Structure 1
Amino acid sequence: MTATAINPSRRAMGTFYVWMAGLFVLIAFSGFAETYWLQIPAGTFTGAPLLHLHGILFSAWTLFFLSQTWLAATGRMQHHRAWGVAGVSLATAMVFVGMATGIASMQKDVAEGFAQQARAFAIVPLTAAVLFAVLVAWAVVTVKTPEIHKRLMMLATISILQAPIGRFFFLTVGGGGGPGSRPGSGPPAPAVTTIGAGVIVAVLILVALVYDWRKNGKPHPVYLIGGAAVVLIEIGRTALGDTAQWQAIARYLGTFTTYT
């Protein structure tokens, strides 16, 4: 199949997306290296089988996003659209597995006597899954408007990077590290500990927004509206975990059966 010709401006934008996608892959795999990828061959990883599926799916998404940006940047739009169908299936699996993993982790911590803390922290993975689902669904709905679609996919991918970025904080200021060490292996941390990673997520969104601003003379509304929503949710939810309303929601979610 012959690649579609692209004008220089669109090619430059496409190259930016490829470089950003490459950065996301680097963040995802390096962030989980010491707490997951290097522990697998060493036989030191401890955790439910569901965690393996979670890690594989979410890591695969960053590779998928890199592949899709590369196909779009090189004008291979027919392949890009064909693989997009597989991307919808992957994203759907990620949402359900992400929710199940968050609930299973909460259930484990509740059973170990950390009910209040576990339910408070559960707001982080559970809202992350919902946020990702909304952004990807919005991107699918706007697939025929590429300028909106690609920015929403960028935001969706950035939103899930809070987890691997959080591992860097866990391994440095959090005192983690060593064989078998990973977030979740001890008592649940306060949700406020995720703010540092949330700030880095905000910086990545800002980079995309500024690039748009410089190339087009103004920031795209998707980055203004969607980006603000991502930042507000990822930082603002830390204050909601201990509220009676969220505790009640988490208590209800904890009644669901998860397969670990």
Structure 2
Amino acid sequence: MDGRGRIVTGSHGVARDHDFHVRMAVAIAATVIGGFGSFALRGQVDIARVPYWVHVHGAVFMAWTLIFVAQAVLAQRGSRALHRRLGWIAAGLVVVMVPLALGTAAMSVRMGRVPPFFPDTIFVALNLLEVSAFGGLLIAAIRLRRRTDWHKRLMLCAMVAMIGPAFGRILPMPLLGPWGGLAVMSGQLLFVLVALVHDLRSRGRVHAACWIGAAVIAIEGLAVPMLAATPPVIALTEALARS
């Protein structure tokens, strides 16, 4: 809508939509960088003693975050050809990201490097669900890449689904106790809420992709303690800790 409350349509509306997604991409990147950066600045990470695979994990995910921002900027500028080429590079990076994320989580349990505010079973369940939510939304976004309205919203929600660890480093997790997981999920859903409000203001209704993304992220967050209590996850966690 414009200043008089009228719904914005046409090329101007598309441009404003692209501007919004660039701002959201930058805000998400700032959350990721700020979360992990502040964790290190507070002296809670001994960078010199961190295993090499943690550095690789961080570098790959940071590369993905920067590509996410770059893709939003390219879409804003109308650089479709470059956007598509970079998109396939990003898709290839995901092939590395997913096993690396799961491998890093497994090694964290094996080496006793799980954040102290997470029980090991919660940590394992959280990583399994986070990767699943991210992967599911990303696959849907790639399949719907020719439908720009769906693609960019699903990509936004996929990115939000994987920034739980960043919020876990921003929020005072030890003080939150059993409410920590809910607080992290609320932080993630706050990004989606901003997208919902944007849709209402610019389109007059919320796009279905935003509702789907919100549902996936909420299910991911609420299902963590339930999955953590299941025999397979308990057995997997115990096996990793003994190995």
Under a length normalisation based on structure 2, what TM-score does the superposition of the two structures give?
0.84
8 Å Cα contact 1:95-1:130 kept in structure 2: no
What corresponds to 2:3 in structure 1? none
* Residue 16 (structure 1) aligns with: 20
Aligned partner of 1:119 in structure 2 is: 121
* Alpha-carbon RMSD: 3.0
Q: Can you list the C-alpha shifts for 1:149-185, whole angstroms capped at 9, x where unaligned?
A: 111100011111111111012xx4537xxxxxxxxxx
Q: Who is 2:102 aligned against?
A: 99
The aligned counterpart of 1:174 is 174
- Asked if the contact 1:132–1:160 (Cα under 8 Å) also holds between the matched residues in 2, the reply is yes
Deviation at 1:95, TM superposition (A): 0.9
TM-score (normalizing by structure 1): 0.79
Shift of 1:85: 0.6
Tell me which amino acid in the other structure corresponds to 1:28: V
The equivalences for 1:1-260 within 5 A come to 7-36=11-40, 44-109=47-112, 117-169=119-171, 172=172, 174=174, 193-251=180-238, 254=240
Task: After superposition, give the CA deviation of every residue in 1:202-253 in whole Å (9 maximum; x if it has no partner).
Answer: 111111111112211111111112211111212331233123243235456x
Quick check: 1:192–1:238 contact (8 Å CA) kept in 2? no
Equivalent position of 1:181 in the other structure: none
Query: Does structure 2 retain, via aligned residues, the 8 Å contact 1:121–1:191?
Result: no
Q: Contact conserved, 2:173 with 2:180, CA < 8 A, in 1?
A: no
> Structure 1 segments of 4 or more deviating over 4 A?
42-45, 189-192, 249-252
Residue 192 (structure 1) shift: 5.3
The SS at the match of 2:205 is: coil
243-252 or 82-91: which moved more? Answer: 243-252
**CA 1:23/1:47 → structure 2, altered by over 3 Å: closer, same or farther?**
same
CA shift digits 1:78-130 (9 cap, x unpaired): 110111110101122111110111111122239x9x9x932332111222112
- 5+ long unaligned stretches in structure 1: 1-5, 176-188
Task: Report if the CA contact (8 A) 1:151-1:222 is conserved.
Answer: yes
> Between Structure 1 and Structure 2, how many residues are aligned?
232
Shift of the 48–36 alpha-carbon distance from structure 1 to 2, 3 Å rule, reads same
Q: Is the 8 A contact 1:120 1:246 kept in 2?
A: no
Deviation at 1:200, TM superposition (A): 0.6
* Aligned AA (1:90): L
Residue matched to 1:183? none
Residue 95 of structure 1 contacts residue 132 of structure 1 at CA under 8 Å; is this kept in 2? no
Identity percentage of aligned residues: 24
More helix by share: 2
- Per the alignment, do residues 58 and 191 of structure 1 end up closer, same or farther by CA in structure 2, a change over 3 Å counting? farther
Q: Distance in 1 between matches of 2:216 and 2:46?
A: 40
